[in-house]
Each structure stands twice: as C-alpha cells, then as structure tokens.
Amino acid sequence: MDVEVTSGPLEGVEADLHAVGLFEGEEVPEAFGDVPGTADAVPTYRKLALLRPDAERRLLVVGLGKREDLGPERLRVAAALAVNEAGRYRGRRIAWALPEPPHGEVGADALAAALVEGTILGAYRFDRFKSRDPEDPPPPAVERLVVAAGGDADRIAGDVEVARIAAEAANRTRELQSLPSNVVTPTYLADRAREIASAHESVNAEVLGRDEIEERGMGGLVAVAKGTAEEPRLISLRYAGADGEAETLGFVGKAVTFDTGGISIKPAAKMEEMKMDMSGGAAVLEALGAIAELELRLNIAVCVPATENMLSGSATKPGDIITQLNGKTVEVNNTDAEGRLILADALTHCVRELGADRVVDLATLTGGVVIALGSTYAAAISNDDDWLEKVLAAAEDTGELAWRLPLHPEYKELTRGKDADLTNSSSKRKASTIYAASFLEEFVDGKPWVHLDIAGTAWDVGRQYVGNGPTGFGVRLLVDLARDLAG
C-alpha cells in the first residue's frame, strides 16, 4: 500500500473516503461543519456516520470516545473500520485527519503509526482460492492511505514508514499462516527465507535438510520429523546490520507446518486449525525481512525448525528416548508436545552456532496459554528481568500484548525424566505453559532468553484490524524491539 503524510488540509487530499475522528464534547471539524447530516455523527467509540459534503466526496466520521482515552489501539481499530467502510463503496484511496493527541504520554508519531497499521492490517484478505462471482466481486484492494498531519507531518514521516513496512510484513506472515499445509511445507518456508536473503545484501540464509539435521545430532527435530514424508528443514538467517563487535540477537520460531499430534493424535474437531502451528516461525522470518528493509543497525540470527508432526509406521512413539543437540536426553511421553523438542535444538543451534547473545522465541506451544490468557495476551516467560522488560515494552508499544508467567524450581522438577534427563510432558498436567518454558530453559546455555507462547494470540483474536483469522502476532513486536535496541 502507498502511504503518504501531508501537512496540507484533509479536504485537499484526493481520496474515495475521507475520515475524521470525533471526540466526546467536540464538534465535527469546521471545514465540514455545515454538511447535511452532521448531526448524525456520534462521538461514541467505534460508531460511524457517513456524510456527503458534495456529489463526489464521502466523509466518514468515526467516534473515538473521550479524548483522554485516545491511544494507538483505538486508532488501529478506527482505521480498520474505515477500511471496511471504504470497501462498501469500492474505494481504493483513504485519507485520514490525524487526531490531535491528548496531553500526556501519547505522541503524534505513535498515533500516525497506529492509523497506518490499522489500515494495512484491516485491508488484508485471504481469498485467493475463492472463485469470483462476476455479479458480486469482492471489494478492491485499498491502494493508498494519506495521513493529514498538519504541523506534525515532517516529524512523523519516519514512524509512518516503519509502521508501513512492519504491517506489510505482518500481512505476509498472515498469508503464510492462512495457506494450508499442502502449500506451506517446511520447504516452502525455506524458500521464503532464501527469498528474503536474496532481497537484502545484509541477510544470509542457510538451510539444512533431513540428512544434515541427523548428522548434526538434532535429535528433537529428527524425532518429530520421523513420521512425515515431508522433508524437514532447519532454517537459519543471519542479518548483519552492525559491525562484528556488536551483540547478536537471536529470534527463534516454531514452525510445525501441520500438527496432528503424532501417535498421541489430536481429536478431529478443529484439527484443521493446526496448519497455523508454524506462526512463530513465519513471524520471525518476516520480522527479519522488515528489519533488513529498515536497515536497522544491529545483528540478528534467526533460527526456524520446520517440520510436520505426523503419525505413520516410522513415527516416534510415546516412551521413546531421544538425545537433543546439546546432549540432554528426553523421554517423549507425548508426541503432541513436539514444539519443545524442535525448539530445544533450534535454541541450542542459535546460541552455539549462530552466536546469539540474547534470545527471544515465539511459539504456538501450549493449549494451556489459551485457557490462562485467552487471545488478549501472549505468555512471556524469562530467565532475565532486563531482557524481559525490553520485550514487554515492545509488546506494549505495538498492542501485541504479553504477560509474564513465572519460572520456579518446583516447575522444573516436573520436567525431570524417569529414565532420561527430561520428559517432554508429565502426566500431572500442571501449569503446562510454564512446564514447556521450563523445558526450553534447559537449552539456552544460561543466555538471557524470553519465551513467548503465542498459541492464543496467533489466531482468532477478534480485534477489528485482525478479525478472527491469522494475526501475524510478533512481527510488529520484534521490529519495535529491534528499533529500540538499534537506538
């Protein structure tokens, strides 16, 4: 989408839909004040009124509630409502008057970024497999957004561009999440990683296949991939945006391109949703693409273990004992707890081979997190308060929220194996989200690490700008984190 900022007045911008916010106790802007129907506009948050200043123009008045309650999240929602409205009139160009921030913490830059994010995310559709009805075509794609920002225009232009790049990357992630597992295979993800590398001088890709994964001793990834005919891939990307002396951040993402549960098979109901079990992997790949496009000055290593989790005559069986890349042995008591096995090897690889000094991992890891936090917060679990604080700040900035859950030696106790060092699942079924994180902690060599369990936030969040499908959760968070660290 083309995104532009102008210091000129909203009325001067050519668009199919002009949008303005209306706050409680305030009036529709003077330039539109005498338009018939203005009295219909209500300031209640999310209420819409469409005015026709003249034969050509459409003015959408979007209720924003109390001015002091205005923050970026409200504008993401408002922008998505406007996109939806534009679609009803087959509009392709939207112009927004940037609402003036309330006094206090919120800046015009964050509000403008939110308008851009809400518009781009809200415009995303997954309809490439639908046959077209020529009588009833789908709304055309929104092609252009202009933000009329008055005196703030120059100051916000940079943030607007970052928001555009991050939101487009989130939409690419959503496409990977939506595409079914017969399209998005581990090989497909590896090809996408190579494509990102070839688009940027600063990015290099390395992809390992089944034989190399075995040779290197990645017993977790081998064990999960044993049951599938689809080739697994260990995908690594390195981004060199700063000199070699600078620290390297590690981004690790779970990419199970379909999770049947394996021999510990899942129930049939809604199993189709398990095509999204690669959401963490897709998010870290596309976030890196956005960071490279922004040329942020830092070094990042991405590692994505990609495989299907299938059942077959060659699949791993409950009770099998495996050896992970770092030498620790694991009793696989539940083959549906596969994410932690592949992440364990990826974390070790990211720290030992790719040289990550601090790591964040994203994974649709447990059903338990959906019970605990719903779709509002991802779970954040960490061995390092300072590193966690940075991740939580990025979560807050972007509305991709995360809430800390604790680690404790008593949880760790649950992960001890009977005949091996660890077990991937305990019959006690206690604190499954924390259990999984305690397991992962065994594989980070004590490096500062944050685990984000995104099983609840990757899909079906229900916010206006992402709807009930894929959210691309984590892409905007990681870009924001990288910006913060690049200074």
Site string for ligand BES, 239-278 (x = CB under 6 A): --------------------x-----------------x-
Q: Interface mask (CB under 5 A) for Zn ion, residues 375-404, using x and -?
A: ------------------------------
- What letter represents residue 214's amino acid? E
Give the residue carrying structure tokens 């870290």: 284
How far is Cα of residue 74 from the mean position of the Cα atoms in its chain?
19
Half-sphere exposure of 324 (CA within 13 A, CB side): 27
Q: How far is residue 414's CA from residue 429's CA, in Å, rounded to a whole number?
A: 10
Report the residue number, 163 or 434, with the smaller CB distance to ligand BES.
434
User: Closest CB to ligand BES among 41 and 365?
Assistant: 365
Of 476, 430, 473, the C-alpha closest to 176 is 473
Instruction: Give the C-alpha separation, 321 to 423, whole Å.
Output: 9
Per CB under 6 A, the list member of 85, 338, 400, 442 interacting with ligand BES is 338
Beta carbons of 456 and 378 less than 8 angstroms apart? yes
Note the residue count of the chain.
487
Stretch that binds ligand BES, among 104-112, 163-171, 292-300, 361-369 (CB under 6 A): 361-369
# of chain residues touching Zn ion (CB under 5 A): 6
- Cα–Cα distance, 468 to 56 (Å, whole number): 34
Instruction: Give Cα separations from 337 to 53, 317, 333, 344 (angstroms).
Output: 59, 12, 8, 12
Beta carbon nearer to ligand BES, 185 or 364: 364
**Least distance (Å) between residue 266 CB and Zn ion:** 7
C-alpha 275: how far from chain center: 16
Among 48, 337, 479, 482, binds ligand BES (CB under 6 A): 337
DSSP alpha helices (H): ranges in 326-384? Answer: 339-352, 368-373
Of the candidate residues 364, 398, 423, 457, the single one contacting ligand BES (CB under 6 A): 364
Centre a 10 Å sphere on the Cβ of residue 483 and count the other Cβ atoms it contains: 18
CA–CA distance, 158 with 349 (Å, rounded to integer): 35
The nearer residue to ligand BES, 337 or 450, going by C-beta atoms, is 337
String of DSSP letters for 97-141: EPPPPPSSS--HHHHHHHHHHHHHHHT----TTSPP-TTSPPPPP
Q: 259 or 286, CB closer to Zn ion?
A: 259
334 binds, among ligand BES, Zn ion, none (CB under 5 to 8 A by kind): ligand BES
277 or 293, CB closer to ligand BES? 277
Give min distance, CB of 160 to ligand BES, in A: 33
Residue 415 found at the interface with ligand BES (CB under 6 A)? no
Site for ligand BES in 438-467 (CB under 6 A): 455
| 361 makes contact with Zn ion (CB under 5 A) | no
| Torsion-angle region of 270 (φ positive above 0: left; ψ -120 to 50: alpha; else: beta) | left
Spot the catalytic one: 174, 233, 254, 340. Answer: 340
Indicate the residue among 72 and 232 with the shorter CB distance to ligand BES. 232
The option from Zn ion, ligand BES, none interacting with 455 (CB < 5 to 8 A, set by class) reads: ligand BES
The least distance separating ligand BES from the CB of residue 338, rounded to whole angstroms, comes to 5
Residue 419 C-beta: closest distance to ligand BES, Å: 19
Minimum CB–partner distance for residue 52 and ligand BES (Å): 45
Q: Is 266 a catalytic residue?
A: yes
Residue located via tokens 């079924």: 429
Selected from 109, 117, 230, 259, the binder of Zn ion by CB under 5 A is 259
The three-class DSSP label of residue 81 is helix
Distance from C-alpha of 431 to C-alpha of 190, rounded to nearest angstrom: 33
Q: What does the binding site for ligand BES look like in residue numbers (CB under 6 A)?
A: 259, 277, 334, 336-339, 364-368, 370, 425, 432, 455
Residues marked as catalytic: 266, 340
Q: What does the binding site for Zn ion look like in residue numbers (CB under 5 A)?
A: 256, 259, 277, 336, 338-339
